[in-house]
Chains A and B, each alone.
Chain A
């Protein structure tokens, strides 16, 4: 019986197993941010402990930071105190902090990979559910709560039960206008927002291999949106090429040795998965969500389902509650629906390739005058790249507003909020009620689809704009 990629990494990180209980899992890298760490540090201090392995912890400020005037003191008092506390905690415990003003600051799941900190075969945790992003490099990465942040700070370990395993194979080639965000929204729409609970997912197949590293991150990022513990992808040449020469990538002999190990990180020929799902990439169309969980998504040209197409009574109630909140009706198409805002950002879609996709759609065009558009690069490094490539000129000419890095309107923790009742096409990961601000109505989509909506002011199949461009 062959081992899975997950088995190989998991087994090599078990310090010990408690009979009839969980295992002590060793954590290689621990990312922390300002929102879910302060209570962990105070817990640690209450026990009279120091951080056990500060060199394995990396901090940034992202969730609760303003996205403009980052050089000035934060206006909101509570936010200022929270960010200050991160600065103090990192200083007191000798932890590297890429805070506001640092050239490496950014969304934690953007900076880990871009700095070469995230590497294959690692165990990685962070007090944030989208930690699964790092699985794109062939690592076991998952989100944890604050008590667990404290445990990892104190012992570099967690008590964990081994999750079940699922493999999602995506074979074939994607249609034009379809990108990795559409793949993951499609999968979640098939499996539901709880369909992978208790499982760790391996994404595999031709269509996954064909994706860039940044596109793979988008897929793994949203594993949690179907309840999965995490998602991972076997590393390959693309992975190694991405990491090579990054700031914290191994060098010299160390690189050669690690590369040899990384090349062994794949699922053996006869593995046992608890569940396997097969998907044909050519079936996937540009996707958009219409409801209040990421599983309520449709191909952009399809109609919202009819109520009687849903069997389960609870799901029917859920569906009607979601449509009530969104002010949509069963059986209706979303195409042509006017929208008010477009948000391009978040740990799902704020990397340079995402912003290039947006620029490719809007180049030479202007946004609809009824729509406000915010572009929030995922990190300072992404922002610098935007300016270096001249994408800023394209965004500004289109009437888009470019902000400074942070989580921003993905979770509406800072002042970047969508007003009550208004529609926002968002490249982020959650369309929960009030996620982007109380009463805000979020439609999740790819950077391409979001860009198309920004230009037309209504829900649009991006392929129409792309075809028009091809004809010019």
Chain B
């Protein structure tokens, strides 16, 4: 992952919790695949088993497409279900933009190569004011998000370690496995001076 240049879906709602992103009744699967079809299930489809779309929900509006979701603050609060990140990725999102992310969602997203981009409230407002053809460019290397139309730019924070991982396709597991000897040494020391 380095540069994502795309139109976006606007979801100007605050506190979008992981129960909205993927309701619990869809967490019965034992693989990571296929969650995209139930992404935002209860906002996207009418009640009952039928797949009747709710026509004014943003994912059902034909003018919107792209790999970026832009949402109100405190995105991803609530449950730790990683299925939320999997469903967003499976639908085709690569970047989520918000003015604030819940902690566990942020870790889950990063652990799956889904980039959370935290911008200021004012920049978020500017994005929401754009029309559906507007392009956003997110560059991980320079940690910038640009509104193509106006050239307005904001930088975003990302932990240096995580950035390196994303750019190189490493994950935390690779790193931890490389540290097994040190982990064992730590355990041996604990046995001499047990923490518990």
Contacts and interface: CB of A to CB of B under 8 A. Distances in A.
Interface of A: 12-13, 15-16, 18, 20-22, 24, 26, 28, 35-36, 38-39, 42-43, 47, 49, 52, 63-64, 76, 78-79, 81-82, 85, 119-122, 127-129, 143-148, 150-151, 154-159, 161, 163, 193-194, 197-198, 224, 227, 229, 257-258, 261, 293, 314-315, 317-318, 321, 411-413, 420, 430, 432-435, 438-439
A400 to B, nearest CB: 24
Contact of A16 (B15, B74, B179): B179
B44 to A, nearest CB: 12
Give the interface SS of chain A, mostly helix, strand, loop or mixed: loop
7 A-B pairs with the lowest CB-CB distances in the bound complex, closest first: A21-B161, A78-B28, A145-B82, A145-B108, A38-B30, A147-B111, A143-B80
Given A39-B32, A193-B15, A411 B24 contact: yes
B14 A227 contact: no
B25 interface: yes
A406 to B, nearest CB: 13
A128 B29 CA distance: 16
Contacts, number: 198
A15 B23 contact: no
B173 A194 contact: no
A413 B23 CA distance: 8
Given A129-B78, A318-B15, A434 B176 contact: no
B114 to A, nearest CB: 11
Given A42-B31, A151-B172, A438-B23, A197 B80 contact: no
A159 B27 contact: no
Interface in B66-92: 72-74, 77-83, 85
A158 B108 CA distance: 13
B50 interface: no
Contact of A21 (B23, B80, B111, B159): B159
Nearest to B74: A194
7 contacts: A28-B196, A39-B82, A155-B176, A197-B103, A227-B102, A317-B13, A318-B13
Given A156-B187, A158-B176, 4 more contacts: A47-B173, A147-B82, A158-B172, A159-B172
A121 B82 contact: no
B183 A144 contact: no
A143 B79 CA distance: 9
B175 to A, nearest CB: 7
Contacts of B104: 129, 143-145
B19 A16 contact: no
A49 B180 CA distance: 12
Contacts of A148: 107, 111, 172
Contacts of B159: 21-22, 161
Contacts of A128: 79-80
A18 B161 contact: yes
Nearest to B186: A15
Contact of B107 (A145, A257, A315, A438): A145
B160 A15 contact: no
A20 B108 CA distance: 21
B20 A434 contact: yes
B112 interface: yes
Interface in B101-140: 102-104, 107-108, 111-112, 121
B173 A147 contact: yes
A197 B19 contact: no
A159 B175 contact: yes
Contact of A227 (B77, B180, B196): B77
B10 to A, nearest CB: 14
Contacts of A317: 12-14
A161 B47 CA distance: 41
Nearest to A296: B15
B150 interface: no
A41 to B, nearest CB: 9
Given A314-B72, A314-B73, A315-B14, A15 B31 contact: no
A439 B80 contact: no
A4 to B, nearest CB: 17
A28 B47 contact: no
A229 B13 CA distance: 23
